[in-house]
Structure 1
């Protein structure tokens, strides 16, 4: 019940992502507008993180996921029924908002409930559940296209996935309620032990008034949470955004690089697919590394591998074995990306407030998603004004600078053994 709904949701979403530009083209959009339609999903996630933090703090994780599934179904209906490009863009944007709420709800639950001793492994599995959709979803879309011959079949598949997720979350065993019940039982046991100790030794009543304040925990809103945690958000948060920036450059640069050196579409797809398989295969290893050796041992090697491979790739465009080097460095980037699986979720959980993390995680995810959203724009701009090699080199430099930022800020904000 923790990972199942997430995997089903990500499979449905992964099945429609490759087809969004095709659906937009059916509505008469040019290439640039079709790309904008696909980007509306990322824009929706970016805009939805802060409201999602507010929603989770007030409704809880379970009801937020049910609401997110219902709202996303409205987006699916809009995609199926729309006959206008603007309606399609709004529908995709709504699905992005819902994806933000769904992802943050599960992230908040894991942050609050998972013991620190295996937090990284648990969150790496959560990250792997999302990556499952990105990896397997396109194959599902291809199978549905082959069977039905209509790209709308993938939209129907996503709608069916949302219905299954909503039913599972609404009527299945709720991990949140079980965790709360366990905490209540533990508190009751502690209260009984305290009462027994008090009966064994009862202090003398002197008649004097008891003075002193009773500690209370005030609930801060979104803006108050951001102000209270502006130090970690502006330092470690920006380091995390650099990792998200480098990650998001991979699907933007690698296909373009293959085209620019003269490879055909099938070869490019094979190389990118191999890199994706390596990335997916390593997601649990990342959690093992973080739990056993510390967060730096996953974040820094991942950024060094991806950043160094991007810089090296920039010098191979005119090489005699350009295709071979493309395959080698694409695989290295895939390994680096796989080693970083779950690191952003884990670091967010490490530095979030212990009792009410949702608002903080909304701000954290907004910063990291902004890094990912900015990356394709930077690649496009640098390619237009300079060259694709310059764009790859610039991405690599950001990766190496991000590694230095992690070395600087992780020891300050995340101890070797984060406290519970």
Structure 2
């Protein structure tokens, strides 16, 4: 990493990476206990699963309003709004008298996660030079994964010490308060870090979507918030950029789907082999550790060689891994193949760290990315939400092996889509600062 890249990324720590770790740490502690809280209110297994799914529903519904909010109030205020909404949702989880109120609280937490996440994404898109954009966004993704990885262990420790499932919710509230204070009292993200002027030098404008505001990069920093003039609005932006959203956006959604399927298929596959919970947790944990270990390598690859060099191997590894795994259920040493392909899926997922954030930033309009990113994140979140439904439906109708193979096919088709659309819509990174 160049000195310039290192200094800029270090300056992001108190305003972006720190709040991201705190938010993810609290959310990661709460998520495993949502079904438990639902069961305490009288929900059965199906109802508990439905209530937990409201987290994803809230995130899907929050992306487009988040784009509007960033466009009107800027990233700092939007992050504070997201944290405040999270306080409301977490507080409601503590006092929820019924499953319906708990579901609403979980929805609000997902909604606020979308707002907070899009504000960070928009900030990085407008402030980070193209030459090390992928590394900065991979580090952002890694910060989130780090918090989500540690969160369940914090919850387990709190349960051992306190013995009350709501202690994790109190921990989430504490993380949210710390996040809001860090955002509001720390360096102003709209003035502390300059926003490089964007234009053709920073990235190509997507085909079929003229960016009238593009201008040559003068090399001088632009401080303050992104100009509010000539903002097209959320739905007009969606229409203007329909070409990239319907092509590269769908390819990104397929990556999100394969990622999400990994979290569902691996535990169910281990269970279908008759493995005990400890063994399944160990295999899934090793896969997750490999995934986490590679998050920054993905950014290095994308910045040095281009986005496709990370996206394509990731999709081929995950698609091929699912396809190969689907043929091993009834063979000898099925448990060994399960562990091996879980590791392969972990490598593929690790190599894809930051890709969705980076491709969204690359494709967004230069002077007002928030509305576009709201649409982009809605597409990718939808891909992640649909994948478990596909796995469940195919498993019930045919078999788990067929469901696993279907996700492998989606991965291979997604790889082909990346090969087709990344060269058209995404600029090559500059090599002078990598």
With the length of structure 1 as denominator, give the TM-score of the two structures: 0.91
Aligned to 1:379: 391
Asked if structure 2 preserves the Cα contact closer than 8 Å seen for 1:239 and 1:406, the reply is: yes
Deviation sequence 1:243-266 (CA, Å, 0-9, x none)? 000000011111100010000000
Does residue 119 in structure 1 map to residue 146 in structure 2?
no
* 1:284-339: CA deviation from partner (whole Å, max 9, x where unpaired): 00000000110001101001001111011101110110111000000100110000
- Distance across 1 between alignment mates of 2:221 and 2:236: 33
**Among candidates 366, 370, 375, match of residue 358 of structure 1:** 370
Assess if the C-alpha contact under 8 Å between 2:58 and 2:107 holds in 1: yes
Once residues 140 and 190 of structure 1 are traced to their aligned partners in structure 2, the CA distance between those partners, rounded to angstroms, is 41
Matched, 1:44 2:58: yes
Q: Give SS of 1:92's match.
A: helix
Aligned to 2:116: 102
Which whole-Å CA distance do the structure 2 matches of 1:188 and 1:409 have between them? 29
Using the TM superposition, give the Cα deviation of residue 177 of structure 1 relative to its aligned residue in structure 2, in angstroms.
1.5
Aligned position for 2:94? 80
2:256 aligned partner: 244
2:41 is aligned with 1:19: no
- The equivalent residue for 1:254 is 266
Q: Distance in 1 between matches of 2:429 and 2:219?
A: 29
- The answer on whether the counterparts of 2:82 and 2:116 sit within 8 Å (CA) in structure 1 is yes
Are the aligned partners of 1:282 and 1:338 in contact in 2 as well (CA < 8 Å)? yes
1:290 aligns with 2:277: no
Q: Distance in 2 between matches of 1:188 and 1:407?
A: 32
* Aligned equivalent of 1:197: none
In structure 1, the partner of 2:326 is: 314
Gaps of 5+ in 1: 192-215
Measured after TM superposition, the shift of residue 133 of structure 1 is 2.1
Local SS of the residue matching 1:175: coil
Measured after TM superposition, the shift of residue 176 of structure 1 is 1.8
Separation in 2, partners of 1:230, 1:187: 30
Conservation of the 8 A alpha-carbon contact between 2:128 and 2:196: no
Asked if 2 retains the 8 angstrom alpha-carbon contact of 1:254 and 1:272, the reply is yes
Measured in 2, the distance between the counterparts of 1:182 and 1:304 equals 35
Cα distance in 2 for partners of 1:188, 1:301 equals 34
Match of 1:151 in 2: 165
From 407, 421, 431, the counterpart of 1:395 = 407
The structure 1 residue matched to 2:68, chosen from 54, 58, 73, is 54
User: How many equivalent pairs are there?
Assistant: 393
Q: Does the 8 A contact of 2:75 with 2:120 survive in 1?
A: yes
Pair 1:9–1:143, CA change in 2 (3 A): same
* Contact 2:27/2:151, CA 8 A, preserved across alignment: yes
2:81 to 34, 59, 67: 67
Question: 1:172: which partner in 2?
Answer: 186
Residues 1:230 and 2:242 are matched in the alignment: yes
Instruction: Report which of the two has the higher share of helix.
Output: 1
Partner of 1:203: none
Instruction: Determine whether 1:328 maps to 2:343.
Output: no
RMSD, aligned CA: 1.9
Given candidates 285, 296, 314, the residue that maps to 1:302 is 314
Deviations 1:173-204 (A, max 9, x none): 12222235998xx999899xxxxxxxxxxxxx
Query: Does the CA contact (< 8 Å) of 2:25 and 2:150 recur in 1?
Result: yes
User: 1:212 matched to which residue of 2?
Assistant: none
Supply the distance in 1 between the matched residues of 2:195 and 2:267 (Cα, whole angstroms). 50
**CA distance in structure 2 between the aligned counterparts of 1:90 and 1:50, rounded to whole angstroms:** 19
Distance 1:340 1:171, change over 3 A: same
Q: Distance in 1 between the 2:165 and 2:262 partners?
A: 25
**Aligned CA distance change for structure 1 residues 319 and 91 (closer, same or farther; 3 Å):** same
Report the Cα distance in structure 2 between the residues aligned to 1:333 and 1:403, rounded to whole angstroms.
Answer: 15
Tell me how far apart the structure 2 counterparts of residues 396 and 266 of structure 1 sit (CA, whole Å): 26
| Cα deviation digits, residues 371-396 of structure 1 (max 9, x gap) | 00001100100000000000000000
Q: 2:357 aligns with which of 322, 332, 345?
A: 345
The TM-score with structure 2 as length reference comes to 0.88
State the distance in 1 between where 2:220 and 2:350 align.
43
